[in-house]
């Protein structure tokens, strides 16, 4: 995607500096655009944990690079193959613990380890781990592009019905290109429609407490010159009641085999409002976000709880101010579950499916 007319991906390998990966620091956006260098598996862990890189597909790719760093470190630290593999396994578990809710880190690390598990020569193994992480990144970008083309067909139909009036989309959190490698998931159909000149307007829910909607989605839409308005999370239901929303598009961090969707906290309330107002609610996600091993989202997905400070305070350093009553307990649930019954469809790179066990398994040949 373009930032100030220059093409960027969210994360990339720089072959000139060994071993190294660069990424956009998302904690500084939209006020400052800065890239930073990552040199070890521990630095990958911190970048994921502190959300310098965030969004399910992106933390998947970052974790795959984490395995590459772990392979490099294992070779430098240990002579014996067994010790090297113990080290890599330890780092795998450590990276997995950085953010437990999204399935993408596990998926991407398993894919990387699978690609190298039978290679005996460690230099060859390191090369293959890096190539695999880069391939996962390239595939994610392409999958998101296809999700855009697929979702575009739905937006085109709404546009036809509205006879040239802007298609009004509501979204939650950031499921744009910053959450992925390029294009985004929920944002990708919006970008595809904008590039065809289809008139659009996007309602952006701010997404308390970290405000990924107000900061990141709004930044992306601004860079693309797409008309948008930031609203509080609580205003989503109201704009829907007033007939100001044609479709809701969100991303996903983990989708179960029967189509329950785990996504950023607040998605469930947004889906309930859409359901009550008969507004189509679509989830956009690559197949790598589907966890075929589980069914019941509410019982089987570990929901990340982040630091209470994200809720209690606003601002940083000397400008930090308290927002909540001192002494009152706080809990910071980072994700919630939207049951399949509230979802009209899941838009993937393999097509659109109803959130239903049989339809999902048929589409993906499971």
Show which residues are catalytic.
Answer: 253
Restricted to residues 334-363, the positions that interact with ligand MRU (CB under 6 A) are 334
From the centroid of its chain, how far is CA 104? 9
Q: Kindly state the number of chain residues that form the binding site for ligand MRU, as judged by CB under 6 A.
A: 16
Is 173 a binding residue for ligand MRU by CB under 6 A? The answer is yes
- 181 or 257: CB nearest ligand MRU: 181
- 173 or 271: CB nearest ligand MRU: 173
Alpha-carbon span 23 to 3, nearest angstrom: 14
Contacts of 170 (CB under 8 A, 6+ apart): 202, 203, 205, 236, 239, 240, 245, 247, 248, 249, 270, 274, 279
Choose, by CB under 6 A, the member of 132, 185, 188, 353 that binds ligand MRU: 185
Alpha-carbon span 282 to 239, nearest angstrom: 17
- 71 or 137: CB nearest ligand MRU: 137
- 159 or 211: CB nearest ligand MRU: 211
Restricted to residues 191-230, the positions that interact with ligand MRU (CB under 6 A) are 212
Choose, by CB under 6 A, the member of 19, 55, 189, 345 that binds ligand MRU: 55
- 130 or 301: CB nearest ligand MRU: 301
At its nearest, how many Å lie between ligand MRU and the CB of residue 230? 16
Is 57 a binding residue for ligand MRU by CB under 6 A? The answer is yes
Site string for ligand MRU, 300-339 (x = CB under 6 A): ----------------------------------x-----
Query: By CB neighbour count within 10 A (0-12 exposed, 13-18 middle, 19+ buried), where does 260 fall?
Result: buried
At its nearest, how many Å lie between ligand MRU and the CB of residue 109? 17
At its nearest, how many Å lie between ligand MRU and the CB of residue 352? 17
Find the residue with minimal CB distance to ligand MRU. Answer: 251
Tokens 């919630």, located at residue: 336
Q: Per CB under 6 A, which region of 55-63, 154-162, 322-330, 336-344 contacts ligand MRU?
A: 55-63
Site string for ligand MRU, 242-281 (x = CB under 6 A): ---------xxx---------xx-----------------
Q: Per CB under 6 A, which region of 52-60, 116-124, 271-279, 354-362 contacts ligand MRU?
A: 52-60
Nearest by Cα to 226 from 189, 281, 254: 189
> With b meaning 16 or more CB within 10 Å and e meaning fewer, what string describes 188-215?
bbbbbbbeeebebbbbbbbbbbbbbbbb
Choose, by CB under 6 A, the member of 24, 52, 54, 158 that binds ligand MRU: 54
Choose, by CB under 6 A, the member of 88, 152, 180, 301 that binds ligand MRU: 180
Is 143 a binding residue for ligand MRU by CB under 6 A? The answer is no
Nearest by Cα to 24 from 133, 225, 181: 181
Contacts of 195 (CB under 8 A, 6+ apart): none
Alpha-carbon span 67 to 248, nearest angstrom: 36
Contacts of 321 (CB under 8 A, 6+ apart): 313, 314, 315
Q: Per CB under 6 A, which region of 124-132, 171-179, 324-332, 338-346 contacts ligand MRU?
A: 171-179
Residues that bind ligand MRU in the complex, under the rule CB under 6 A: 54-57, 173, 175, 179-180, 185, 212, 251-253, 263-264, 334
């Amino acid at each position: 995607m373009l930032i100030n007319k220059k093409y960027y991906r969210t994360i990339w390998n720089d072959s000139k500096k060994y071993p190294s990966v660069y990424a956009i620091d998302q904690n500084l956006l939209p006020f400052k655009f800065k890239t930073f260098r990552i040199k070890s598996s521990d630095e990958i862990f911190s970048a994921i944990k502190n959300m310098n890189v965030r969004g399910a597909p992106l933390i998947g790719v970052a974790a795959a690079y984490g395995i590459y760093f772990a392979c490099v470190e294992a070779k430098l630290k240990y002579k014996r193959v067994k010790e090297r593999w113990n080290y890599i396994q330890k780092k795998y578990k450590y990276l997995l613990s950085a953010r437990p809710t999204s399935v993408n880190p596990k998926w991407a690390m398993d894919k990387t380890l699978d690609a190298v598990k039978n290679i005996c020569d460690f230099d060859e193994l390191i090369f293959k781990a890096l190539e695999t992480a880069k391939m996962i990144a390239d595939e994610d970008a392409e999958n998101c592009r296809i999700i855009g083309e697929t979702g575009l067909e739905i937006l085109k139909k709404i546009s036809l019905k509205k006879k040239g009036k802007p298609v009004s989309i509501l979204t939650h959190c950031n499921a744009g290109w910053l959450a992925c490698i390029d294009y985004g998931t929920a944002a990708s159909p919006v970008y595809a429609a904008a590039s065809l000149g289809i008139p659009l307007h996007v309602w952006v829910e701010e997404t308390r407490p970290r405000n990924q909607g107000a900061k990141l989605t709004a930044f992306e839409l601004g860079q693309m010159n797409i008309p948008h308005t930031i609203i509080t999370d609580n205003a989503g239901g109201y704009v829907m009641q007033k007939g100001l929303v044609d479709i809701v598009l969100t991303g996903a961090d983990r989708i179960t085999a029967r189509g329950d969707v785990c996504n950023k906290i607040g998605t469930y309330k947004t889906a309930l409002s859409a359901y009550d107002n008969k507004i189509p609610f679509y989830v956009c996600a690559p197949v790598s976000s589907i966890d075929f091993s589980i069914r019941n989202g509410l019982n089987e997905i570990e929901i990340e709880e982040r630091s209470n400070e994200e809720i209690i305070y606003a601002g940083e350093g000397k400008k930090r101010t308290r927002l909540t009553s001192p002494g009152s307990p706080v809990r910071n649930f980072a994700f919630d579950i939207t049951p399949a019954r509230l979802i009209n469809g899941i838009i993937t790179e393999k097509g659109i499916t109803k959130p239903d066990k049989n339809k999902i398994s048929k589409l993906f040949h499971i």
